[in-house]
Amino acid sequence: MRKRIVLVAMMTAFGMVGTTISANADAEMGQKIYKKKLRKACKVSGIRFAQNHTQDEWQEINSAGKLPEEVKKICPSLDLEQIKGEWWPSLYDFFYEYGEGSSHVPKC
């Protein structure tokens, strides 16, 4: 129950300050975070993970404050507590940048 409360609080905080935080985030940092913290648990490359949704879908998920939930849905073995709160905007930028339909190809 405590984990759920913390997760809801994190999502609420990002929903209120998402535009401010996104200005400091970037896809390259998100790629590095994915490679170091998510790839092993998710057992897929960054491009395969990002292509689970289109760029518009990633944007809707992020705007709704459901990015951590969606990442957990795609990668059930991932421990969300290992992902620092300040990393989510960069991860979003990475997922958005390389989402389905994007012409960009990440290096991981």
Looking at the DSSP bridge assignments, the partners of residue 54 are 100
Phi, psi of 23, rounded to the nearest 5 degrees: -65, -25
Is residue 105 in some structural domain?
no
Whether the pTM exceeds 0.85: the reply is: no
- The Cα 28–Cα 62 span in angstroms is 18
What's 36's DSSP letter? I
Task: State which residues form the domain around 77.
Answer: 2-97
Q: What is the pLDDT of residues 28-75, one digit of tens each?
A: 999 999 999 999 999 999 989 999 999 999 999 999 999 999 999 999
Is residue 92 in some structural domain?
yes
Tell me if 39 sits within 8 A of 106, measured CB to CB. Answer: no
Is residue 108 in some structural domain?
no
- Give how far Cα 103 sits from Cα of 40, 52, 53, 57, 59, Å: 25, 15, 14, 16, 17
